[in-house]
A and B are shown apart, each in its own frame.
Chain A
């Protein structure tokens, strides 16, 4: 039976949580990939691991400490950038620090908490109501900021120098963007796990970009791919008793392969597209547009 997991409460929770994560991850993912920051979600995932371990060690709900740690990690990446550490190197440092802190804290707890594996590999079919509420709350915040600052995200993604000259606070926006990625990592951690959260963010985006569509359509395609992947992945997980996070990510990789094949089957050859001459529709009285601009002298080289 198709979508039989929806007959159960845990399946409905997984479906709702999965949709929230799919939409949030895929929307941010397109910006992440185009800004060439594909590793940032992986790095912040490992920082979140350090935060989760801190939660276990202190007895605080691990996702709360994870939120604090990813915000600190996001600020840390930018602080290292200001010290002229290259962004990939800064991510590598934070990645290592998060993992090392997590391992040390868990070793201090003598035995690894039983719940730890669920954060590493995700248990979308085992999430409870509070996980769904947290995912919904953080997801709404991330999507609201994404929509409210839409033109700013396009500006810093497509041409940060131009955005800076236009008066946008590019550095502040870059920090905020990294914090949003961190929050999304936390949202997705409980569902697909720290080790696969990066995949859910970037692979639907990379697959959508292969389709070579305008910007908004690319984001919608990434969201669609992520949603369908979550649904198919959940069903596969339910039917064949597979790890849900892994099943979802494998479906996204299937979509990626499909879009690569599609884009190669129907290539858009670089072509000389038609462009007319410069004109100027000036509103000043007495100006008659292009006719008033003197014709250029013929090019002697032609």
Chain B
């Protein structure tokens, strides 16, 4: 399928013939993608289609069995990082933080987002604390900043994790179903914020969403996965109806 991304933007990351399997079960087969700088890419597909695996490969948590991922944007900003790559803000689907009750406050969780900016043996700077304060205010978490993370509801915890991903001013935002457990009003506010960040800060956004209506409405491009890439192109031309048809097709395979 042709990619409908503006060709004048520089390529930010390239996925070259990536394959991955858990044991004998292939999850991703020969995935090839190019994401351009400032693109807003939605990744869709049925459960178990390899979306989360692909995102984990993109952010460096999994190594592909075959193929490679190559970053080519913001390479001037990665001094000291090995391997050299742009700053990535990541919101995982099942973060360890939500799996047990840690004695850690909302502020302490959001501060973690600044860790990628500084190297080993360094302490957080006044700028890091200021960035944390700003993220807390932007996420509307000012009144709960001193509360324990585990005392918050699921939706509120997700909001904290999104704020943590944003605090480091990432070049790329990788979000794995970030609105899971978030109420409808907060979802809409989050989508508005995400659009705003993308438009004004020129962040490249790669997001896995189950909400097909939002995917077709918000994204400029959709990658539909079912172990392989079944569709890669304009969200507008596909539409919610086209996404449903792809879901049905993938379900029948």
Q: Residues of A at under 8 Å CB distance from B? A: 34, 36, 148-152, 154-155, 157-169, 208-209, 211-215, 217-218, 268, 270-282, 284, 287, 292-294, 296-297, 299, 301-302
| Given A165-B90, A275-B144, A293-B193, 17 new contacts (CB under 8 A) | A34-B100, A36-B100, A148-B121, A149-B120, A152-B115, A155-B112, A161-B90, A162-B112, A214-B148, A215-B108, A217-B103, A273-B151, A275-B156, A278-B138, A278-B159, A278-B190, A279-B138
Q: How far is B150's CA from A7's CA once the two chains are assembled, in angstroms?
A: 47
A151 pairs with B137, CB closer than 8 A: no
Please name all residues of chain B whose beta carbon is closer than 8 Å to the beta carbon of A273 when the two chains form the complex.
143-144, 147, 151-153, 156
Within 8 A of A (CB), among B25-80: 59-61
Please name all residues of chain A whose beta carbon is closer than 8 Å to the beta carbon of B191 when the two chains form the complex.
296
User: Known contacts A159-B112, A167-B116, A301-B184; is A278 also within 8 Å of B193 by CB?
Assistant: yes
Residue from the list B115, B138, B140, B146 in contact with A155, Cβ < 8 A: B115
Q: How far is B29's CA from A149's CA once the two chains are assembled, in angstroms?
A: 40
Smallest distance from the beta carbon of A148 to chain B beta carbons, Å?
5
B184 pairs with A277, CB closer than 8 A: no
Q: How far is B185's CA from A302's CA once the two chains are assembled, in angstroms?
A: 9
Could you jot down 23 A-B contacts, CB within 8 Å? A158-B97, A159-B92, A159-B97, A161-B92, A162-B95, A162-B164, A163-B112, A166-B113, A169-B120, A212-B101, A212-B148, A215-B103, A218-B103, A271-B151, A276-B140, A276-B142, A278-B159, A278-B192, A280-B193, A282-B196, A294-B192, A299-B184, A302-B184
**Minimal Cβ-Cβ distance residue in B for A36:** B100
B116 pairs with A166, CB closer than 8 A: yes
Smallest distance from the beta carbon of A195 to chain B beta carbons, Å?
28
User: Known contacts A158-B102, A299-B184; is A151 also within 8 Å of B141 by CB?
Assistant: no
A164 pairs with B103, CB closer than 8 A: no
Smallest distance from the beta carbon of B91 to chain A beta carbons, Å?
9
Q: How far is B186's CA from A281's CA once the two chains are assembled, in angstroms?
A: 18
Residue from the list B59, B81, B95, B108 in contact with A214, Cβ < 8 A: B108
**Minimal Cβ-Cβ distance residue in B for A155:** B115
Residue from the list A215, A271, A274, A299 in contact with B188, Cβ < 8 A: A299
**Minimal Cβ-Cβ distance residue in A for B159:** A275
**Minimal Cβ-Cβ distance residue in A for B194:** A278
Cβ of B5 within 8 Å of any chain A Cβ, yes or no, is no
Please name all residues of chain A whose beta carbon is closer than 8 Å to the beta carbon of B137 when the two chains form the complex.
279, 281
Cβ of B253 within 8 Å of any chain A Cβ, yes or no, is no
Cβ of B109 within 8 Å of any chain A Cβ, yes or no, is yes
Q: How far is B146's CA from A276's CA once the two chains are assembled, in angstroms?
A: 15
Contact digits for B16-32, partner A, Cβ 8 Å, 1 yes 0 no: 00000000000000000
Cβ of B219 within 8 Å of any chain A Cβ, yes or no, is no
A163 pairs with B193, CB closer than 8 A: no
Please name all residues of chain A whose beta carbon is closer than 8 Å to the beta carbon of B192 when the two chains form the complex.
278, 293-294, 296
Smallest distance from the beta carbon of B75 to chain A beta carbons, Å?
14
Please name all residues of chain B whose beta carbon is closer than 8 Å to the beta carbon of A169 when the two chains form the complex.
120
Q: Residues of B at under 8 Å CB distance from A? A: 59-61, 81-82, 88, 90, 92, 95-97, 100-105, 108-109, 112-113, 115-116, 118, 120-124, 134, 137-144, 146-148, 151-153, 156, 159, 164, 168, 174, 184-186, 188-193, 196-197, 200
Q: How many A-B residue pairs have CB under 8 A?
A: 155
**Minimal Cβ-Cβ distance residue in A for B108:** A215
Smallest distance from the beta carbon of B137 to chain A beta carbons, Å?
6
**Minimal Cβ-Cβ distance residue in A for B163:** A278
A280 pairs with B138, CB closer than 8 A: yes
Q: How far is B6's CA from A183's CA once the two chains are assembled, in angstroms?
A: 57
**Minimal Cβ-Cβ distance residue in B for A163:** B115
Smallest distance from the beta carbon of A259 to chain B beta carbons, Å?
12
Q: How far is B13's CA from A288's CA once the two chains are assembled, in angstroms?
A: 33
Q: How far is B232's CA from A45's CA once the two chains are assembled, in angstroms?
A: 55
**Minimal Cβ-Cβ distance residue in A for B117:** A166
User: Known contacts A275-B140, A281-B134, A282-B200; is A164 also within 8 Å of B61 by CB?
Assistant: yes
Please name all residues of chain A whose beta carbon is closer than 8 Å to the beta carbon of B88 when the two chains form the complex.
165
Please name all residues of chain A whose beta carbon is closer than 8 Å to the beta carbon of B139 when the two chains form the complex.
278
Please name all residues of chain A whose beta carbon is closer than 8 Å to the beta carbon of B116 when the two chains form the complex.
165-168
Smallest distance from the beta carbon of A216 to chain B beta carbons, Å?
8
Please name all residues of chain A whose beta carbon is closer than 8 Å to the beta carbon of B104 when the two chains form the complex.
158, 214-215
Q: How far is B98's CA from A302's CA once the two chains are assembled, in angstroms?
A: 27
B108 pairs with A154, CB closer than 8 A: yes
Please name all residues of chain B whose beta carbon is closer than 8 Å to the beta carbon of A271 when the two chains form the complex.
151
